[in-house]
Structure 1
Amino acid sequence: MFYIRLMLTVIELQSFVEMILKLKDVATVSSGVTFRSRIEASKDGSVRVIQMKDLGDDNFVHLSESIHIDHTKPKSNQLAKLGDIIFRSRGQTNTAALLNEDVESTIVAAPLFRVRPDVKKVVPEFLLWWINQPSSQSYLASRSKGTMVKMVSKQGLEDLEVNLPSLGQQKKVAEFFSLSMREQQLLEEIKNRKAIYTQGILMQMASESRQTASNKKPGFDAVTSTPGQTQSRARN
């Protein structure tokens, strides 16, 4: 239901577009921090690093398993903050995820890009939706380069055209988008719980089947004979 309503909102959006701008006109794109060697986690590290693995399929950045490292104090222009959009510049898909919680001393690792929306022009959730929607993904795919691994350049992302309605209309689209994502998340949780429940039933059935089979010992009567009965049968 939410998905259908979201599609209707997308169609209606065309009639509310006030201007068409490039992404660089409504947000600042920054390349992630490049590390010369493998990123090593440190128990006492003071700097958190957002990596590709921290971007969820639900379009949010998940920090629960992100790592901390020993690192010199990051420059202010390297720090991530609430409302930033983290973009996958490399790989099969070039989607993005929203950083929707407050963070301290947090940086973004290359090949990710940090997109910081100008909230006076664009709602972060709307821009996230716009980057991830099919027409934008088609454009980004056309701008990706590389033989073995495709990668979208910073300029390629900055040149993405964004159809901008009013801020009020952007908020409506963002709300529908959030509801749709929440619906998909709940459906996925139901699916996973059902799979676990079904697996539990099957395991119980298999266990009961093995127990029944072990109780049926071949070569013996179901009724246990006493020692006297056994000797009597032997003399006969």
Structure 2
Amino acid sequence: MHALIKEIATVQSGIYQKEFPDGDVIYLQVNDFEDTTLKEKQLHPSLLYAENLSGHLLEEGDLLFAAKGTSNFCALYHDKTGKAVASSAFFVIRIKDKDSLLPNFLYWYLNHPAILVLLKSQAVGSTIPSITKRMLEELKINLPDKETQRRIVEIGRLQQRENRLRQSIAAKRDLLLHASLYKIIKPNNNI
């Protein structure tokens, strides 16, 4: 089944708010993420809760799409983070029927390189390219059955894990090689 994002989810702009040192709501910004992962250790509430924030509070399974600039990505929000709202750098995507569409699947789809290239090719603005709400809402998605979605998500997760392990192995191999080569030329070496 094919659908447009606007048929399966709502897309809402993040908000701009003045920050305070001692708030009770987390204000998520692009620099709070590394790749698509939230850097939870550095988070601290910086907004004061008010009624105008209630409609913008994030819910479990909401997706945050970074639409401004050249580093576009989608992140998945988990409510264990605490009460939070997204900054205006994001669009908040809320799935209408989580029984037919897994948030993790939409997260995987929106981070797929081909989809990001497609969206970037349509971005507007010369100084700071931006993906518009309309572009996101009009994006077509092929919706497989839930079991296929689960499998795709799991394979994608395993691929990411494999990539992280390869990077870690390569970094350790470099350290070992550098140490071995330095040992050869190190002063007082009996070689």
Match of 1:62 among 22, 34, 39: 39
- TM-score, with structure 2 as normaliser: 0.83
For structure 1, the 5+ residue unaligned runs are 1-18, 214-236
The yes-or-no answer on 1:107 pairing with 2:89 is no
- Name the CA distance, whole Å, in 2 between partners of 1:51 and 1:182: 25
Give 3-state SS (helix, strand or coil) of 2:38's partner: coil
- Shift of residue 198 of structure 1? 5.0
In structure 1, the partner of 2:127 is 148
Q: Radius of gyration: which is bigger? A: 1
Counterpart residue number, 2:110: 131
Q: Determine the C-alpha separation between the residues in 1 that align with 2:27 and 2:174.
A: 33
5 Å-filtered alignment, 1:2-41, equals 19-35=1-17, 39=19
Higher mean displacement: 193-202 or 124-133: 193-202
Q: Are 1:77 and 2:59 matched, yes or no?
A: no
Corresponding residue SS for 2:45: strand
Map of 2:154 onto structure 1: 175
* Equivalent pair of 2:108/2:156 in contact (CA under 8 Å): yes
Deviation at 1:160, TM superposition (A): 0.7
From the superposition, tell whether residues 196 and 67 of structure 1 become closer, same or farther in structure 2 (CA, over 3 Å): farther
How far 1:21 moved relative to its partner? 0.6
Alignment partner of 1:117 is 2:95? yes
Q: Which residue of structure 2 aligns with residue 165 of structure 1?
A: 144
Matched letter for residue 79 of structure 1: L
Q: Deviations over 1:56-91 (max 9, x none)?
A: 32x333322223214233633211233221111011
The aligned residue for residue 96 of structure 1 is 74
- Percent identity of paired positions between Structure 1 and Structure 2: 26
Q: Deviations over 1:113-155 (max 9, x none)?
A: 1112231221111111111223322331233100111001111
Query: Which residues of structure 2 form unaligned runs of 5+?
Result: none
RMSD (CA atoms): 2.5
TM-score (norm 1): 0.69
Match of 1:4 in 2: none
1:100 Cα shift?
4.2
CA contact (8 A) 2:23 2:49 kept: no
- Secondary structure class of the residue paired with 1:30: strand
Distance 1:200 1:116 in 2: 50
Q: 2: CA distance between counterparts of 1:100 and 1:204?
A: 48
